[in-house]
Amino acid sequence: MAFFNNSNNLPSNVRVSILEEKLQSYDELSKQMLSKLEQAVEKISESNSNISQILIRHEEKIERATEDKDIMYSVIHNNEDRLSKQIETNRAAIQDLKNFRWLWAGAILASSFFVSQFKIVEYFMPQQPVPIYEIPNNQAR
C-alpha cells in the first residue's frame, strides 16, 4: 500500500503498467492455485470413489457371511432334529430288544421247568442202560 501512496508522483502510464504487471502475476498465481486445487479435488474424488468401492465389497462380504451363517444354523438345526429323532428311534428299538430278551428268558425258564416236571425228554429220547465193564484184576494196577 505504501507503494501506491507514493505512486501518485509517477506518470499514469507507469502506474497502469505496474498494475498490469501485478495483475498478470496475480493471474498466473491464481491459475497455479486453481490448477493445484483441481488436482486436489480430483485426488479426493478418486479416493472417495476407491473408498466407496471398498465399502461396497465389504458390505457384500458381510452379507455373504450373514447368509452363510444363517445357512449353517439351519443345517445344524435340521441335523439336530434328525439326530434327536434317530436317538429316540434307537432307544425304542433297544427297549424292544430288552423286552424280547426277557420274554425269551422267561420262555426258556418255563419250558425247562415243564420239561423237568413232565419228563418229556425221556419220552422222546429214552435212555438205554449203559453196560458197565469190569476191569479184570490182572490188568488193574
Does 31 reside within a domain? yes
Mean pLDDT, rounded, for 4-9:
58
Contact 15, 7 (CB under 8 A): yes
Residue 11 per-residue DSSP state: -
Rounded to two decimals, the pTM is 0.43
> Grid coordinates representing 120?
418229556
Does 43 reside within a domain? yes
Contact 18, 7 (CB under 8 A): yes
CA distance 121 to 22: 139
Does 52 reside within a domain? yes
Q: What's the domain range around 33?
A: 2-93
Q: How many domains does the structure of the chain reveal?
A: 1
Return the H-helix or E-strand segment holding 140. none
Does 115 reside within a domain? no
CA distance 84 to 21: 93
Does 114 reside within a domain? no
Among 15-19, 54-58, 62-66, whose mean pLDDT is lowest?
15-19
Radius of gyration of the chain (CA): 57
Mean pLDDT, rounded, for 73-101:
92
Residues in the chain: 141
pLDDT for 111: 85
Residue with cell 501512496: 5
Does 27 reside within a domain? yes
Does 85 reside within a domain? yes
